[in-house]
Structure 1
């Protein structure tokens, strides 16, 4: 909404131009009009200055008090500026030449010093107002401190003017009139006010000119007129020589006109406009009431058709609002629940605790929260009309109205979800047990196959090689036969080596014969030789004295990790580090490879990591993988040593 009408701006512009033309004529006839003297000039000056002071004080009162504790930075600056300007104006008035207690020309210098301080403060405040682009809230305490600091600065300057008037160059000399310093100061004021008027005019004419947001509404067209009048008045004040000339009175009249325009632009629009628009306000009130009724009907429709249950209770825990979904969930009609206690839908054993929780929730000052602190605790228990209890997921909010607290609960029946969650947990437990059983069965099969390969097939191959050795000693064989037998011997040696490797991969004999430490040493050496990757095993044999289940699981985890390093990591160094405490065994496997890309660990086909997790879960341990692309991967495992391992085969 535009802050002024084009017609109003046009009228004020024409009025300003007319007064400027008239003033230009008077200024051109300065020699003629300066001969006109005003009798009782002191009284007229005092009366006009008093009127200006009253208007400035009114502006301060509105900027400071009209909106209670709500205040913007702009309204605070205007309040402080106009209050201090009114104070400077007061001291200007009482220090006129000839006032009791202020005799002599030096008091006229003091008076004009106060005059310049007051007008500079107003002029630069208006200039800052037109240049302001943003506003901000300011607290009551900061507002009070700002006023106190402003008053302190004002009275400090007042003391300096009275006590050390020579600080400022002479502004008035007896029988000679104004000094060049005073006239130059007036010219600066003329230029400042003219610039302010131009900027206000441009701001009004710009397409985005709107009412200033905030508490204090400002009519810029009147402030444009005020700045123009102040520029004209300062020109009059720069032309006079003696205080009883007519130019002084005319300048004061323009000053009062400017002050009145400021009053109308800042004060009148905020105080008088509401009363003049009473009829329009009544119409707006009716429109607001109609809109409120529409919003109420819309809100009622939303509540009535909501799929979730909604209940509102007062501070006495009486139900004052319930929607059909809530009544259906609890097995009642809406009319049956209205006015009853919320205890009607809460099991007997939970009522005391529930009432205490609701009371504490209201006292904390929070506005809303879920019922519970974790996923498993988000539901509470509801009581059906037939006495059946069922789980409810709910959230509660609170609202203060007329010093009364109301609580609103939005909830849904999650019986089916709870059953599904319990079944899912059961399935997960069964799958974990099945995985553990399969791991155990597979390990037994590996052990059995490895034993069969080593003890049976390995012995047969060894015996066959011994027979070949005896055959090689036969002197009657031809050279060709000897070569054939030697080739067969080499093939048998290769077969035995391959058989041993396969048997070791299936189940290293060192794990059964020497324990986990020696099995890991063999795995470390074989991995380094086969893949050319330096591998360090940091552990003591005493640390790795474990039962068969833990030893096998740890060996398989390290074996799978080294396999992943060889296949994917492109690492140059791997470190396997064990630390044992009285109740836990910690294991860290770290490589300097290329790391695992984000999301790769959650791929559905990452069975290696899944198998490791399942093995650790069967040992009641913790499994954590940390990987940074380009910086390697680290696997951290903690296994408790004080818990029994449940064998799924038993």
Structure 2
């Protein structure tokens, strides 16, 4: 019987290693691994916090959380602080720790959010690849108040595998993002060197030809060509800027303000909350803002467009409101333009919500709420 148990453990460890080696989607892979880990250890629940270099955390994966922690879409697990996170940020967790009293369970009990199912404490294991820290693995079971050395060694072995897999997947994501960025830059450069210059030449040629003729009809036609090429040149420069935004390295607010100047849009930007964004968050906010401002320029005929960015402990809110001509909009019908439809799809891929309010001659307001702390990061980068 003992040999059978040992064989089953080895088999499960092999399955965990295979899942981690083959996985490409971080959240999906980690959720699957946690279920296998619980089957291996006989424990009831487990969860993983990924923690960035600035100390921001995300509940990346969980399995069989008690009812008390499932309250309001796991809100108690996604915000606030706790002892294990504090210890991690202080650099005091370098191996499996036995045990840590769970502040989140205490909060859930005080709030009467549901049954804690006998869980009050958890073991905590840092996730590393021996060189870099990624976050924490927490495991617990009802009335469990102690893990022996063998149990902790097993958890550390699995945590090391998880850390190595996280590093691999993050490197793959970075490589994919760098390839996309390189291609965008190449396309922007090609457009600048070829199409942009050709349009500029057409505009100059039409202007010179118009000054050389006395034929009023021909001059009018050449002026029209000049005006059309000038407008196309302006559109091309805006497109190049969208592909390779200038100022994003200075922060998303600077990029939005510079883009507004490029397209000739009067924008007032306000920010509130602790505005510390990850690279993925900044890029998503920028892309959504860029599309909204482009729509304002093309369709709204707005005198002023307001962009408001705010952040709470659990979400980022982006509002774009203009005083333009507006349009008839029914929330139950299809979104009227491809640009708005793309914004909605991009927002929902990141796990956020997207809403529009618009009336004829009363302007349009777009409200976007995004999960913060890197949630949906892989989708945000698409």
Q: Given the two structures, how large is their TM-score scaled by the length of structure 1?
A: 0.23
Q: Which structure has more helix as a fraction of its residues?
A: 1
Q: Given the two structures, how large is their TM-score scaled by the length of structure 2?
A: 0.38
